[in-house]
Every structure is written in structure tokens, then in C-alpha cells.
Amino acid sequence: MESNLNGSTMTRLTINEHIYYCVPNETVLEVLLREDVKISYTCKKGTCHSCMVRSLDNAPPEAAHVGLRDTLKKHNHFLACLCYPEQDMAIKLPDQSEFYTQGSVVANEMLNRNTLLLIIAFRYAFEFTAGQFVNLQRADGLTRSYSIANTPQESNTLEFHIRRLPNGKFSEWLHDEVRIGDSIAVSEARGHCFYLPERSQQGLLLVGTGTGLAPLAGILTDALAHGHAGPIYLFHGSREIEDLYRIDEMRLLSEQYKNFHYIPCLSGDKVPEGFSHGRVDEVSLALFSDLKGWRIFLCGHPDMVNRMKKMTFLKGAASADIYADAFLLTPT
């Protein structure tokens, strides 16, 4: 550790014999970006895990370990965006072969006017739990996070619902250029928004907007497969009907499972029969006066997710039973 001209203590980061200095209140990721060191990142808040790196000597602060598996913590892996180094560290940046597995595209078709169904297959079993997410990485290193829409199965595939965003480098690449047979690098599965087969009598409230249906569909399928006996409500919302999808499939499930209730919501002016009118958070909250003992899953627009986290808590849901996955709004 060294001091600058102002007397502040700086920590030293060593990467492949190159030395960089970190000033107080500066994260490792901020240092690397300032110094034009190439590193993958997306959210800058510890959610996507794109910026995971490894210390080769000193242990990183505990706060930089949040959300990582014990096996990764043991080998001093940490998130650069959460790490305010307390001592000098020699850092190893990730390479694709260390953290990513190559998969092959086996399906790409449109679910609605702007949502792509992308299915990637793997040679060996891919470990994940329905509702988690992974990072997809392009050959040039561009990386984005997407939720998994299916449950683990023998076919060793991952299903994604990917919305096209205007000027989104990654989403437009997936929509316009990726073809069946192409290879894509896929990270380990991450995230804590998934179903656990316990308290099977507990009510489940699933609320999502747009492609927030992706993780919720996986969670729903997993819960039904485990014989969840409590009531399950799925609210899926958008402004226009053209931006919803899998409507018939969800209605069929609601006929097959008497404890499952599907409510599609439209906030626009044109609302056909069979759809609820209003924002998905308002429609869902209006149906429940007391959510004590319920398990809540929220996925999609961050404003909706944040409102629902607050309101479901105020209606009695325990904070430990509220699982949220807020999607980034920056072009992807």
C-alpha cells in the first residue's frame, strides 16, 4: 500500500505484471475501467456476476463475495464492482475457457413481434435451477445477462426469451445474426430467484412484465412438477396484447391444475375479453388484502419490481419470502 500526495492510502492492484493504483472509495472495476483494462461487466451492482475476477494472494473483502458459491469464495474469486480493496492484491482476470461453456443454438424463432425464443444445447449436463440467469458472451467479449425460462432436463438445453431493444448491440445481434448451429459462450447459472420444494401448502404469487415471464415460467413449471399444493397466481403484464406471449399455454395449464390461476394484464386502451385492464402490479395487489405466509416472485421492469417488493411486504409477506429479478433497461 502507498500514499498519494494528499496523504490518502492507495492499494496496489497487479495484473500480469502491470500495476494499477486504487484510491479510497474506488472499486476494482472502476480502476480497471479507468485504466482501459478489458473486463466484462453489465450491472455494476453485483447482480450479473459478469465482472468476477480472482485474487492470487490476499483475500478480498467479504462484501465482494456476495452471491458467490462457497467453492468460488474458497479460491478468492470476487466481484470487481463490489470490491473496495483493503490491501494490495494480485488479480487474475477471467478468460472464456475458465468461466464459460460453449453451447450450440438449436432453436431461434419469434414468440411475439419483438421477443425471440432462443434455445442453446450443451454436450454435457448444464447445472442450473429454474428461474436463475446466465451471462451470454459474444466472441468479441460483449456480455449480457438473460434469465432461463425452462427447467433442467435430459436434453441439456437452456431456453431464453429475448426482447429486441432499439440500438441494443447484443439483442439485435441475437435477433438478426445468430443462426441455428452457431456457438455461444454461456456462464455458470446465477441468481437466487427460484422455487424451493418446501412449504408446499404456501401460496405463490408470480408477477412479471414483458420477458419477465421467462424466469416465472420456469419457476411455475418447477413448482407444478414438485406437486406444489398451495394456490399459485401468475400475473403477466404489458401495454398491448401483441407484447404478451404463451397465453394459450398458460390458460391450458390453469385448466389442468386447479390451484394455478393465470391473469394476463393489459395497461393500454384496447383490452379484449379475458384480459384484466390495468398495470400488472395494481391488478395483482387489488386481489390480495393479506399476503402473510405467501412466497412472492417478481420479474421484469425495475419500477414494477421495486413497487411490488414494498407493497407485498406491507401486505404481510416476509422479506425473506420476496424474490426479485429486476431487468436492466439499458440497451442489450
- Single-letter residue type at 60: P
3-state secondary structure of 11: strand
For the whole prediction, is pTM greater than 0.85?
no
Claim to verify: residue 36 and residue 134 sit in the same structural domain: no
Indicate which CATH number applies to the domain containing 41.
3.10.20.30
User: Can you tell me the distance from the alpha carbon of 309 to that of 321, in angstroms, rounded to the nearest whole number?
Assistant: 10
pLDDT of 70 over the 90 cut: no
pLDDT of 7 over the 70 cut: no
pLDDT tens-digit map of 244-272? 999 999 999 999 999 999 999 999 999 99
pLDDT tens-digit map of 94-135? 764 557 899 999 999 999 999 999 999 999 889 898 999 999
pLDDT of 48 over the 80 cut: yes
Q: Ranked by mean pLDDT, which of 154-158, 220-224, 326-330 comes out on top?
A: 220-224
pLDDT of 154 over the 70 cut: no
Average pLDDT of the segment spanning 41-57: 88
**How much is the pLDDT for 43?**
84
pLDDT of 331 over the 60 cut: no
Average pLDDT of the segment spanning 43-55: 88
Claim to verify: residue 225 and residue 312 sit in the same structural domain: yes
How far are the Cα atoms of 33, 164, 173, 174, 270 from residue 110, in angstroms, in the given order? 36, 11, 14, 12, 23
Average pLDDT of the segment spanning 213-238: 97
Paired sense of beta strands 89-92 and 9-15, if any: parallel
Domain boundary residue, one of 62, 94, 126? 94
Domain coverage including residue 13: 2-94
pLDDT of 1 over the 90 cut: no
Domain boundary residue, one of 48, 70, 94? 94
Domain boundary residue, one of 94, 116, 150? 94
Average pLDDT of the segment spanning 59-86: 88
**How much is the pLDDT for 5?**
45
12 located within any domain:
yes
Strand partners, 277: 266
Indicate which CATH number applies to the domain containing 233.
3.40.50.80
Claim to verify: residue 103 and residue 154 sit in the same structural domain: yes
pLDDT, mean over the chain: 91
Residue 60 burial (10 A CB sphere; 0-12, 13-18, 19+): buried
